[in-house]
Amino acid sequence: MKQKNIYLLLSILSFFASSCIKEVDLTKGNLIEDKPVYLYPFQNERKSVKAEILIKMKQPLSYENLSAEIPHLKYNKSWLFMLTQDDCKQVAFSCTWAAINGKPLSKKYYYNAGHLLWDDLPPDIWYLGKTLGSTDGASNEVRFTPTTTLAPDQEWMNEKTQILLHYEKNYSRFNQKKGLIWNNVREMLNYGWGIAFHNLVVNNEKDVNALLEQYPNAQDSILKHLNGRGCKTLAEPDGNKAYVTAALEYPPIQTMAAQAGTVKLYPFKVTDDLYNVLIERWFNDSPNYFKPLIEEQLQKPKEERMAIYIGVHGTDSGWVNFLLWLNDNYGKDGDDSMWFPSQEEYYEYNYYRTHGAVPQVEVIDETTLKLTVDLPSGQYFYYPSITVNLTGLKKQDIASVETDNTVSGLSYADFEDKLMLNIDCRKYLVEHATHFVEQYERDKSNASNKADALYFVNMLKDSQKKTELLNRIK
């Protein structure tokens, strides 16, 4: 009798176990709850930074010709490229962002940040096999960082992602959605992308007063969903100048782009801070249209080159190939001449260059120099980093470079007859790098996780913490 009861119990347990397996793998899939993804704490970023750096020489030098300057473009690049993706498109994440950062691509489907996090991906995924970007001139990768527009007053940005592991009966969860959701934007921001206002929800988009009243509401939504990170950029929608007129009366917006009534941007001729200057950008359905325009500008001396600023809506494999072409010709796998930042990062860099005091170099003794750099910030500034050139020094002369705690990232290299220093003062750069190391440790089989971990750790200045993080990646 006792033996029969044991057999009965085992049979019941076996039945339930087989039922559960069947339910998860074959019928409904394993439903995962979509939760907010990690976001760099932009709201607590340092403001109006003052950085101090000690440069120690191997031997005494003559400092008669010593001087410091901030070049017109970061990393001493010779031309500027920018791209804004309008209409808050889902492909800004699953195509444009994915291609740049070595993530999976699909020619038929779309996915969100939650899908990527849980490896719940479309059946036709493929990879470029590398990331796309330039370098900082000191052998460290700097990935391309476009701008995406938002639709912060649209409810569909709040939609949850349906994550169904092991479910292959259909792939409707990968159908195109109305646009980006907040989790996608959070992940894009983690990789340096910028954000911009575009269309607002008002009864009449030609009504300047209605737009002016709605801007703060849209901003509040952005601040709420992005943990206090605000927006200072406008990408004019539909050629509607009412948005520009209203933006001029809304102080948080400080930099704008449009197709008409604009100013052509020549980076090496800029002498002011570009506050509320309407910068020109161009649209064309074919990315190949822009290749001869780029090549034409590059025939000119750098001082005469116009910035190439592109606006796009949807992106596909043709645009992926264009980004790959930029990388292979003018990025890290080409001549490395191009800087590709978001509009807000370029605006901040130029603001530091035109508003900050000229970098000060003080001779402490015959083998020690002290460099002081001021980075005065405005509202919603998040990129406290700068390039400084020191004339009269070469890398071979340097024994060590020491910084205060304000400096979190540092690289340096020779540039022409100067020493170039790339100084990054982001407050949470170590914590940010640690997040990506931990992400790699959770899944070491994912090559992209390792590439990301190395990418963010290599942004850090040399330190014991950086060494520890690099050892964790190995």
- Note the pLDDT tens digit of each residue in 207-229: 999 999 999 999 999 999 999 99
Per-residue pLDDT for 196 more than 70?
yes
Per-residue pLDDT for 370 more than 50?
yes
Can you tell me the mean pLDDT for 378-390? 97
Q: What distance in Å separates the CA atoms of residue 377 and residue 379, rounded to the nearest whole number?
A: 7
HSE-CB at 187 with a 13 A cutoff on CA atoms is 25
Per-residue pLDDT for 15 more than 60?
no
One-character DSSP codes across 278-298: EEE-EE-S-GGGHHHHHHHHT
Q: In this predicted structure, what is the pLDDT of residue 28?
A: 57
Tokens, residue 230: 């605000």
Can you state the angle between helices 429-442 and 447-457, rounded to 10 degrees?
Answer: 160
Calculate the average pLDDT of the chain.
Answer: 93
- Note the pLDDT tens digit of each residue in 291-320: 999 999 999 999 999 999 999 999 999 999
Strand-pairing partners, residue 164, are 31
Q: What are phi and psi of 339, to 5 degrees?
A: -110, 125
Residues 6+ apart with CB under 8 A from 115: 121, 161, 163, 173, 174
Q: pLDDT band for position 20 (50/70/90)?
A: very low
- Kindly report the number of other CB atoms within 10 A of residue 336's CB atom: 18
Can you tell me the mean pLDDT for 336-357? 96
Per-residue pLDDT for 22 more than 80?
no
Lowest mean pLDDT among 75-84, 187-196, 247-256, 361-370: 361-370
Lowest mean pLDDT among 12-26, 70-84, 293-307, 423-437: 12-26
Per-residue pLDDT for 63 more than 80?
yes
Q: In this predicted structure, what is the pLDDT of residue 367?
A: 93
- Note the pLDDT tens digit of each residue in 242-293: 999 999 999 999 999 999 999 999 999 999 999 999 999 999 999 999 999 9
- Note the pLDDT tens digit of each residue in 399-412: 999 999 999 999 99
- What's the whole-model pTM score? 0.93
Q: In this predicted structure, what is the pLDDT of residue 16?
A: 38
Q: What distance in Å separates the CA atoms of residue 48 and residue 412, rounded to the nearest whole number?
A: 23
Is the domain 74-343 a CATH 3.20.20.370 member?
yes
Q: pLDDT band for position 18 (50/70/90)?
A: very low
Q: What distance in Å separates the CA atoms of residue 136 and residue 431, rounded to the nearest whole number?
A: 21
Per-residue pLDDT for 10 more than 60?
no
- Kindly report the number of other CB atoms within 10 A of residue 277's CB atom: 17
Q: In this predicted structure, what is the pLDDT of residue 61?
A: 84
- Note the pLDDT tens digit of each residue in 444-460: 999 999 999 999 999 99
